Structure 1
Amino acid sequence: MLLAASAPPLLTELAILLVAGTLIAFVSSRFGVVPIVGFLVAGAVIGPSGIGLISDIDLVNQSADIGVMLLLFTLGIEFSLERVRQLASLVVIGGASQVGLTTGIVTGIVMAFGVEWQTAVFTGLLVSLSSTAIVLKVLAGRRAMTSQTGNVSVGLLIFQDLAIVAMVLAVPLLGGETGGPVDILLALGKAAGIVVAVVVAARTLMPALLRHVSRFQSAEVFLLAILAICFGTAYVTSLLDVSISLGAFLAGLMVSESRVAARALGEVMPLQILFSATFFVSIGMLLDVGYLARNLPLVVGLAASVVVIKLFTTASAALLLRQPRAVAISGAVVLAQVGEFSFVLERAGQEVGLVPAGLANGTDAFIAVTVLLMAFSPFGVRWGDSLAARLEAGADDRPSRRPRIDDDDMPDPADYEPLTDHAVVNGFGPRARRIVSALELAHIPYTIVSLDPEAQRWAASTGRRVLIGDVSRNLIADRAGLRDARIVLSVDSPPSAVEQFARIAREHNPDVAVLAWAADPADAADLEREGLVDHVVAERQAAHDALIAHALGHFEVPEPATEAVTHAVLHAELTPPDEDDS
């Protein structure tokens, strides 16, 4: 029976998609082309207009929808409610200006060619949206998510993702179907109610819930709980006729208010990468290669027009809010494409007889322009950065750290300034606490990485730099600055965990020094014999002295200063503050 059983349809389609996508993306990367372009090309090759390997596009589109959900969920985690509040002017004023300007200009241009105003407005709405998926990938790849350009880009995207709710409701009105502004106002009121409920839950219920889940120290339970929050919230919003993508973003905002936000992001990221790749391949499959070849001048001309309009409207919106000129230009280039939610809007338009720009093959033209702009978007961002730098030499667009609201707030790990030539301390047990104190007295920069939420609570309550999560996750390793560290320490873990941590550290930074502690001299000898650990302290009585001496020695602290720091640390009272979950 097992040999005779056939593979389920979804497995067949996903297997072809992933194998083809991986091979073409690999070849693309070998030529210096970003994976996103490879995925789009893979979709065009295996899609209906290519060699036709994929027969059931609906199944692929369902997987792609999950990819968009997880993408917006991770965006929500990286954005705290406080950060969204700080970007309120960018979201409301900037986003409304960008969408309004784009829609108005496109409407005027299309009407100039004799197209009805309803179709012209519909086309303007399509062009006003940018690709959240592309922008997030580009910003994350350049580590610019929290830069000024990142703030402008994401602020405008948040407005667009909220505006899609009203746009979808407005399309039937443009198509002449029954309904009215009252329906739109009711829907927006419903969405506002959901947002209020999410804010309340994020401030009250979610931190306590995730704190209790994390105490189980079970990766499986934690991951399932995070995914349940994402999919559950999205499902509830769908029952209220609100976009599941918006629901996923709001779910991420709820998780962002918890101390385990960075860990949640690290756990979900592999799934997000998988399904996001499916999304890009699915977009590529929509492209009619034959239509593109026959109408290349038209498609290129339309794409160039979209770029020019988006550059002008986005830069104008940013300059309206007095953003630096370099930031306005780079942000405009980042958003100079048509987004995935435009496909949702275009399908809604098809149902009521609206065709992009009123063209005979408007849908094919729209898809071709969108895929073309998505494919060239990563290259355009590089060009935009160079142009912005030339126009405004010396403009500083590095990630900035947002100020803490008050002394009781937990720091947001995403807002930590990147460190170089520092120490990374894995875990925050008794030995690690003493070493951290020594590093502080010697004015040596460091980052703590811990899976224990209570350890993070103690560290953060005293103003220490701490990430909660598993350093084996690339996201956590990057935020800890493992690649740029001078020394890494694992001094409160069993030998097996020390070995695993040392391997991870060597993968990211082959030249980093690794310092560990072992209770048994035999274990210490085994770790050193493998060559993964540079120093293993096994002295039972003088362990703390030796650990501090080795740690400071790697930073060339003079011996008298090391002795003074060691004496001060070992005679200090290191007692955690009383736990208070209120």
Structure 2
Amino acid sequence: MSVEAAVSAAGQAPPAFLGPVAVLIVTAAVIGFVMTKVRVVPIVGFLAAGVLIGPAQLGLVANGEAVQAAAEIGVILLLFTIGIEFSLDRLARVWTWIALGGAVQLSLQILFGAVFFVSVGMLLDLGFVLDNLMLVLVGSLLVLVVKTVTTAAAVVALRMRWRTAIATGLLLAQVGEFSFVLLTVGAAGGLAPLGLTDDGTQTVVAVTVVLMVCTPLFAILGARLNRAGGKPPAANHSDGPVNGTDGGLTEHVVLLGWGPSALELASTLRAQDIPMLLTTLNPGGAAEATAAGHQVLRGDPTKALVLQQAGLSTARLVVVAEDEPDRARTTVAAARAITGAPIMVRPLGPANVAELAEAGADHVVDLHRSSGRALVASVLHRLGRGQVAAGTSRPVVDTSRVLRYPWPQDRGCAHSGLSRTVQPAAAGCVGCLHEGTDWVHLRGCLSCGYVGCRDSSPRRHARQHAVTDEHPLIVSLEPGVSWGYCLVDEVRVDGPVRSARERSLPPQ
């Protein structure tokens, strides 16, 4: 007995949607495979397949309700795909999960995309298109012109070449997949495109399908138009040379980001004749910086090409300013992949020092624990132009410096678990500052960041803190010195290995 007969014998008929859904999925799989083999954009094949099997043509899926259900499922799968694209990229932190999630995401994207576009094709009635060909063509042309012009205008506002702007406009001229989400919601609410009920819906579907099918042609046309203008100069988005190979900047400060603190820092560096290049995607910020006489590179500072054009490989210092914490961490990681220079970061929210240090930051200016001018003071200190403590000849400690010493467990010290990523809690010895006394050499606590004077100082505040708070791990905060020490086990370890380039900079 067959499965269908067994089900009927049990008094149950197969679900009505089972056949249409099976046809849809099989068609999508076959067309996707064929399109890949003949090197044709799969979306075109999915749309064509949907048109053929739909009720208006071959009728392999003749149930109107099934077609509508398939379209709604396509919308749901589209939104679900958008969701997994976001969550997997933002939340996956372990390589195992990234690999597994990436593989699952790829399979789901192919399947969901196929089902969605086939279901869209099923909604198209070729008879309507032929009967209303002029309406469909005019609608397609209108959408093409409006979207191309508006997109190109936005690209031109970023000072891109006009050829590149038009090419970008053509590439984005189609009606996006999300229009079907709006169409479904509108229809459920009793709305109709252009007030034409079913004809309005068919017009929107026809225009969308036409533009989607033509998108590969638009892309080819735009690419040819862009190439016809010749190769753009390397510094196309900048106001001046941006690297050492063409007589531009070397041993400079690269400022990634724009805002009030970045503006103050740029002005201070310029006043002290320190070469500086600013990189930002903000058109208003770029225009303001250019008007102030600063050298500006327009681009995304998380992209390797932009960072290379900014001359990061020959930079003296990199400053990531005015970014939200997540984006700041991404920018730091991108910069660290290119340069061995010190990286200083000032996020616009609560700073997770450990995460920023893991990404490659050497200095973190926390907005919630320092004044607005702290960024300027920290940069000048890093460049060897810092202040000295009032009433002493000792330079102050840069409180943005990240103290991160991975403590070895095979050196006879039982306190490795107390080594954390911290920052100096004060610019000088906390105890001496409270008592109004002087210090001789400074030490930093690797557990909490307490700054105290060493044993050769009269008050020995570093040791007092270690005993009182049971924080025995300390590091030297003296210029040009990098080592850690356990005051209990009397074990000394070398500091983190820094690049030769950073070691050549002025001492901290």
Q: TM-score range by the shorter chain?
A: 0.3 to 0.5
Q: Answer 1 or 2: which has greater helix percent.
A: 1
Q: Answer 1 or 2: which has greater strand percent.
A: 2
- Tell me the TM-score normalized by structure 1: 0.38
- Tell me the TM-score normalized by structure 2: 0.42
Bigger relative contact order (CA 8 A; separation at least 6): 1
Larger Rg: 2
